[in-house]
Structure 1
């Protein structure tokens, strides 16, 4: 069945997503402090093309143009993040009013156009001054983050439709603190697990504090999740897939929705297991108004050779990720069955391909198909009773793709990083047409 917009509820949220560090640029303008990603980009060999986020998409100055872009797509929602060091340069102490003014004008412009605002407080760009004190490995950061969240909610909480505390805490903890391939570049499983605990604890503390303001704004968290399959029927592969599912999904979901860490994972971690204090897990297990799910591909686990996704015969993106829409349906159904979140939102979904701008046209047929088929997969989950209420395409436009620099393009809108010219790709035109038809 071909899915159209009228197969979804009238109040379904259709949007695009971005994050502050990836698009804003203006890395030291108007009082902004350095983030851990500013520091990380300066380390030789960490970014594939030796680039940084100093300029990015110049969204900090080109935001009026980008608001018009968002509006032109016909979406009714926009997911974006606030740069903590832009509004509080040291992560504690004085607020930077110039930074808040930027977000105030951006929000006002989108409000005027009737577009819902979905705000993320932490999309990875932690103030460097807090990292100098231990970052997410230091329990004191939970109080700093809670004060930041409360101040943002006090100023903007009644103007935005949702507030997400953290985007993808697994990425922050594992890629940043265990593998060291993302900022802050630490390689310690023990520190990674403690960072994970503090990310979840600060989420719970922030929700408590923001709700004390009397806000009715939806509040929750966004996780990167995927189904994990054993690479073979070998019992070792089956056991490895179960463990990997625990490390990537159950560790977070059990804490957030059951108030416990899964025992098999804690036993596996041994001395590296997170240290918690009495009451921590009860604080983590706050009532989330929504759970955001970022889905890109499925994963395989193997005790032997790494699984070769090309062997599935499915399309592989420029990131080397298999295109597997059914995995989104499966994931949403599993989360609904095992955890019963009040609302599930697809907060990121997209693909990188080697786009070419030819005579003003970007014919990104593979991305178009990816978006179309994952929207259909979202609908399949809803037919099975899953309360999905939103779909956000990643991303609005090509941007700084973290350790990949500017080499990987996920945008619906093509960006020429030399001229900053924006061009709607064919996938964007398809999305606009899809949203205009009922």
Structure 2
């Protein structure tokens, strides 16, 4: 077997999981009193989604909960990271909880526990209620208290059985692509005017974490999308551009959580964050683990022409690409983890909250021999092991995604799943990568039990 397809060396004690998000898999967009989110608004705009697809019925998972639990049980994962959409629990973003929706997620939690899979809910995976966006969205500090109220409602129902919680998923993508460039919902184009959304999301995380712990949660974290930034060249201009991009994609999100302060944005000519007394103390004391979602490095050069930004993003030379066109460089994950841990030696354990790749695959129900995905996952798990050798504490690794799904603005054109989904029939077919991951988890457990004897 080629080395790229073989089982990688495993860090001792690593937990295994896989992930989905509600809007991408559930369907049933109007079932059980569900409200309207910014992503409903986005996909209903003509031309917003590349293939004209909608998230209805997607994988039809809202009605096929038992099928998905069986897939997870067969995979043998320790945990399942899924999201609970705010607009199902509070259809308008405020008011009493929707008990029918809470019943649904209680059934999911109980079903997972019955099959030996730890539920790991995410409270916010981009589905901001439309009414809250109309009132200012993440640009408004009022959204912080709204989110905390919602978190408390979910915790009141589920925290007696759920110990691990993610508050907010990929605040960077909400800020940079949702409010900055308009590529994602809510499709604002504010450029650096989007930066207040960073602080309000981090503060909302901290308030939600407090509500979760008050209800009995013992393991609370956030997950950020991170990238290893590579300067295109050695010139001062390229190095300065790479530093600027590293600040706005990585450090402005991580440093308040891990160092208790924002990086120096004013040195880039940017306004300070809307911080009030006590905010940074609350944010800096909010984590039991730190989630890193990692897909690819980013190559950065000095801005050209009359660009409104101080950097240009370029293709990364000399590496293969995923179906999304993202560069594949596993050592970039290792290097990012090592650098993050060296800069924050007292940080909590790291969880790889998402890692995976899309590749072209048939649309009809079929068994996919996805060796390219197996090679990607194997190499990135090996990169985690190499980081662990250098002292990085990683306690969990999560494959994105359990199944093919609705891939946001790219509709159904990208397939990330361990399980193939025929979106016409809803048929689920485990891919070769599903079997590979199942066997990897089984063998890792066997090795760990042998070492313990």
What is the RMSD computed on CA atoms of the aligned residues? 1.8
Q: CA deviation at 1:191?
A: 4.3
Paired position in structure 2 for 1:392: 398
Paired position in structure 2 for 1:74: 76
CA contact (8 A) 1:56 1:400 kept: yes
What are structure 2's unaligned runs of at least 5 residues? 305-311, 447-453
Q: CA deviation at 1:295?
A: 0.4
Following the alignment from structure 2 to structure 1, what is the Cα–Cα distance between the partners of residues 10 and 270?
48
For the pair 1:324 / 2:334, whether they are aligned, the reply is no
Paired position in structure 2 for 1:167: 169
Paired position in structure 1 for 2:320: 315
Task: Mark the CA change 1:248 to 1:310 in structure 2 (over 3 Å): closer, same or farther.
Answer: closer
Q: CA deviation at 1:435?
A: 1.6
- After the TM superposition, which residues 348-363 of structure 1 pair with which residues of structure 2 at under 5 Å, given as runs? 348-356=354-362, 360-363=366-369
- After the TM superposition, which residues 207-218 of structure 1 pair with which residues of structure 2 at under 5 Å, given as runs? 207-213=209-215, 215-218=216-219
CA contact (8 A) 1:5 1:435 kept: no
Paired position in structure 2 for 1:294: 293
Paired position in structure 1 for 2:307: none
Paired position in structure 2 for 1:84: 86
Following the alignment from structure 2 to structure 1, what is the Cα–Cα distance between the partners of residues 439 and 230?
36
Following the alignment from structure 2 to structure 1, what is the Cα–Cα distance between the partners of residues 273 and 179?
13
Cα-to-partner distance string for 1:379-404 (whole Å, 9 max, x where unaligned): 11112111100011000000010110
SS at 1:118 equivalent: strand
- After the TM superposition, which residues 110-259 of structure 1 pair with which residues of structure 2 at under 5 Å, given as runs? 110-213=112-215, 215-259=216-260
Following the alignment from structure 1 to structure 2, what is the Cα–Cα distance between the partners of residues 108 and 274?
41
Task: Mark the CA change 1:359 to 1:88 in structure 2 (over 3 Å): closer, same or farther.
Answer: closer
SS at 2:317 equivalent: helix
Paired position in structure 2 for 1:417: 423
SS at 1:270 equivalent: coil
Following the alignment from structure 1 to structure 2, what is the Cα–Cα distance between the partners of residues 409 and 239?
36
SS at 1:93 equivalent: coil
SS at 1:302 equivalent: strand
CA contact (8 A) 2:422 2:428 kept: yes
Following the alignment from structure 1 to structure 2, what is the Cα–Cα distance between the partners of residues 368 and 240?
34
Q: CA deviation at 1:254?
A: 1.4
Paired position in structure 1 for 2:268: 268
Following the alignment from structure 2 to structure 1, what is the Cα–Cα distance between the partners of residues 407 and 163?
26
Q: CA deviation at 1:261?
A: 1.2
Q: CA deviation at 1:356?
A: 2.9
Following the alignment from structure 2 to structure 1, what is the Cα–Cα distance between the partners of residues 27 and 214?
34
SS at 1:59 equivalent: coil
CA contact (8 A) 1:236 1:303 kept: yes
Aligned residues: 433
Paired position in structure 2 for 1:27: 29
Task: Mark the CA change 1:171 to 1:230 in structure 2 (over 3 Å): closer, same or farther.
Answer: same
Following the alignment from structure 1 to structure 2, what is the Cα–Cα distance between the partners of residues 243 and 304?
11
Cα-to-partner distance string for 1:262-281 (whole Å, 9 max, x where unaligned): 11x2332434x432222222
CA contact (8 A) 1:356 1:363 kept: no
Q: CA deviation at 1:216?
A: 4.4
Q: CA deviation at 1:208?
A: 2.3
SS at 2:62 equivalent: helix
Give the TM-score normalised by the residue count of structure 1.
0.95
Cα-to-partner distance string for 1:169-198 (whole Å, 9 max, x where unaligned): 010111111101100111113541111110
Q: CA deviation at 1:151?
A: 1.6
- After the TM superposition, which residues 361-376 of structure 1 pair with which residues of structure 2 at under 5 Å, given as runs? 361-376=367-382
What are structure 1's unaligned runs of at least 5 residues? none
Picking from 334, 355, 362, the partner of 2:339 is 334
Following the alignment from structure 1 to structure 2, what is the Cα–Cα distance between the partners of residues 390 and 200?
22
CA contact (8 A) 1:158 1:217 kept: no
Moved more, 231-240 or 198-207: 198-207
Give the TM-score normalised by the residue count of structure 2.
0.92
CA contact (8 A) 1:315 1:322 kept: yes
Cα-to-partner distance string for 1:91-147 (whole Å, 9 max, x where unaligned): 110211111111011111100011111111000011111111111111111000011
CA contact (8 A) 1:190 1:274 kept: no
